[in-house]
């Protein structure tokens, strides 16, 4: 039997580890080890030959770690449900390729038929097409004409469905790509979405596959999100859950976690934080900590707690997020959002609850001259400037307060002129009353009352236009008045 004599996997449980296992153990214990330190640890000295040996060792370890990917457990229900079935299809196709090249046609046919059944049960049109295409080749080579004709007809039907799915996926990819860009691009894309929806609906009627349904479902959610129809999102997600429970959706493909997240998100944006927080508490157990979307879910979970006024719970959620080993591995933009969430969460805690180190970091954040999010006008500039202002109000430092108020005034004039920014524009106008009222909280409360009413009556806006409110402006106004009652800037 032909086989590779090199052991393909690391023996992570070995009681007598070799250098490969020792390298893994050392890096697991201290991921910040330098090349020199690792060379000395494994080879005793930092010589040129030992550094060369380390590079070779690192290559072998990396290859073997990649081999471990074939043996990951995907059965946890908190992971993407379709993952295990998709990887099973790919595993069968991989084995089939090797068997076919080895001339083992009987077993090849059996595995292809198993792959086809699995792909059909899981509604993976692309894998079903691959399986039938390989069966067609197999039947042609074995001169099995009747089976060849059946497979040929089946392949034509699958390719027709696959063409529809590919067109739908291309549309959805184009939309998602544009929605991730600037505010202007998002607005332009919003105008096109009704036509895209009509096109995808027509393709779904033709194919009736899960992939076309999913594209239609996701685009409807995206459109509702952009225009601020958060009740629509709650309605769509609730209907999808009902369809899943009734067996009308493929349980092997439908991502209930995404559905739950969108439901929670819609409650946050539609100003229903108490109900949304209860849902988030129930849904959190369905999110696996290693999932790429775990942090995104917890961002909204944390914001629901802040919006509901549950500040102690928000602090606990912040600690849970930091304990996740993958926290530091997030993208830079995500880490910046978490930094801002952390600053707001800690700001609303009693000062004596915060360690001195965190108070110092809040001061550093407040002292930023230019907001780090300044290039993205739909980002968090307003939230940063407001937090900086509140920090200096708490410190009772007049000059920094006046400086931040001037920045808020300029930002309002330049970037908050659209109707969709009414809430942010109104709240900034309320804050700009501070020097006019000579920082007197009672005078300020009276003068701000009409603006507060306008703020509370402002309509919901879509994600395309939204300015982030880490804590609702109404609550921030109460905090502002409370800080002034404790003492005015000097």
Which pLDDT tens digit goes with each residue over 446-487? 999 999 999 999 887 765 455 678 999 999 999 999 999 998
Predicted TM-score (pTM) of the model is 0.82
Q: What is the mean pLDDT of residues 379-408?
A: 89
Report the C-alpha gap between 354 and 358 in whole angstroms. 6
- Percent of the chain scoring above 70 in pLDDT: 93
- Percent of the chain scoring above 90 in pLDDT: 64
pLDDT at 478: 96
- Count CB-CB contacts under 10 A for residue 205: 10
pLDDT at 356: 67
Report the C-alpha gap between 348 and 341 in whole angstroms. 11
Q: What is the mean pLDDT of residues 290-302?
A: 91
In sequence order, which ranges of 44-144 are alpha helices (DSSP H)? 48-67, 83-101, 105-121, 125-141
Which pLDDT tens digit goes with each residue over 51-69? 999 999 999 999 988 988 8
pLDDT at 371: 46
Report the C-alpha gap between 384 and 390 in whole angstroms. 10
Closest CA to 161 of 98, 202, 203, 120: 203
Which region holds residue 102: left if phi is over 0, alpha if psi is between -120 and 50, else beta?
alpha
Whether the pLDDT of residue 370 is over 60: the answer is: no
Evaluated on CA atoms 21, 27, 33, 34, the torsion sign reads positive
Whether the pLDDT of residue 336 is over 80: the answer is: yes
pLDDT band at residue 17 using 50, 70 and 90 as cut-offs: confident
Long-range Cβ contacts of 313-316 (<8 Å, 24+ apart): 313/277, 314/345, 314/348, 315/345, 315/346, 315/349, 315/353
Q: What is the mean pLDDT of residues 303-312?
A: 96
Q: Which one of 3.30.70, 1.10.287, 2.60.40, 1.25.40 gives the CATH number of domain 81-254? A: 1.25.40
pLDDT band at residue 374 using 50, 70 and 90 as cut-offs: very low
- Helix (DSSP H) and strand (DSSP E) numbers for the chain: 22, 0
pLDDT at 379: 57
Report the C-alpha gap between 407 and 385 in whole angstroms. 8
- Count CB-CB contacts under 10 A for residue 231: 13
Domain locations along the chain: 19-70, 81-254, 368-486
Evaluated on CA atoms 254, 255, 257, 260, the torsion sign reads negative
Q: What is the mean pLDDT of residues 344-366?
A: 76
């Amino acid at each position: 039997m032909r086989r590779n004599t090199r052991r393909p996997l690391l023996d992570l449980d070995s009681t007598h580890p070799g250098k490969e296992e020792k390298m893994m153990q050392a890096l697991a214990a201290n991921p910040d080890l330098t090349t020199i330190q690792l060379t000395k640890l494994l080879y005793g000295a930092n010589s040129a030959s030992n550094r060369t040996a380390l590079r070779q060792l690192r290559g072998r370890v990396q290859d073997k770690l990649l081999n471990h990917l074939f043996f990951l457990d995907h059965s946890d229900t908190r992971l993407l449900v379709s993952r295990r079935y998709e990887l099973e299809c790919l595993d069968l196709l991989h084995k089939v390729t090797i068997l076919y090249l080895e001339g083992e046609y009987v077993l090849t046919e059996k595995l292809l038929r198993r792959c086809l059944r699995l792909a059909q049960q899981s509604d993976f049109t692309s894998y079903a097409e691959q399986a039938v295409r390989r069966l067609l080749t197999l039947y042609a080579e074995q001169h099995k004409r009747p089976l060849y004709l059946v497979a040929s007809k089946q392949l034509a039907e699958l390719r027709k469905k696959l063409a529809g799915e590919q067109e739908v996926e291309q549309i959805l990819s184009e939309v998602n790509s544009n929605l991730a860009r600037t505010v202007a691009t998002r607005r332009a894309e919003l105008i096109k979405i009704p036509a895209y929806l009509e096109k995808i609906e027509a393709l779904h009627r033709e194919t009736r596959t899960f992939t076309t349904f999913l594209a239609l479902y996701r685009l409807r959610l995206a459109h509702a999100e952009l225009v601020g129809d958060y009740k629509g999102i709650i309605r769509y997600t609730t209907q999808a859950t009902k369809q899943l429970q009734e067996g009308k959706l493929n349980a092997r493909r439908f991502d209930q976690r995404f559905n739950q997240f969108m439901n929670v998100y819609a409650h946050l944006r539609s100003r229903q934080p108490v109900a949304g927080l209860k849902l988030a508490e129930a849904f959190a157990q369905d999110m696996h900590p290693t999932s790429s979307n775990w942090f995104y879910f917890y961002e909204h979970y944390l914001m629901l707690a802040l919006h509901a006024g549950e500040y102690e719970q928000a602090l606990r959620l912040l600690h849970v997020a930091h304990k996740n080993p993958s926290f530091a591995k997030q993208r830079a933009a995500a880490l910046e959002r978490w930094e801002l969430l952390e600053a707001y969460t800690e700001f609303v805690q009693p000062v004596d609850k915060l360690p001195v180190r965190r108070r110092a970091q809040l001061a550093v954040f407040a002292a930023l001259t230019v907001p780090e999010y300044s290039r993205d006008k739909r980002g968090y500039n307003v939230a940063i400037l407001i937090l900086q202002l509140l920090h200096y109000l708490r410190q009772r430092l007049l000059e920094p307060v006046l400086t931040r108020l001037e920045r808020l005034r300029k930002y309002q004039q330049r970037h908050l002129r659209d109707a969709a920014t009414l809430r942010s524009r109104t709240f900034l106008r309320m804050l700009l009353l501070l020097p006019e009222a000579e920082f007197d909280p009672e005078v300020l409360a009276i003068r701000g009352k009409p603006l507060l009413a306008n703020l509370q009556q402002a309509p919901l806006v879509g994600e395309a236009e939204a300015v982030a409110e880490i804590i609702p402006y109404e609550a921030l106004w109460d905090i502002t008045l409370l800080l002034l009652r404790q003492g005015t800037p000097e």
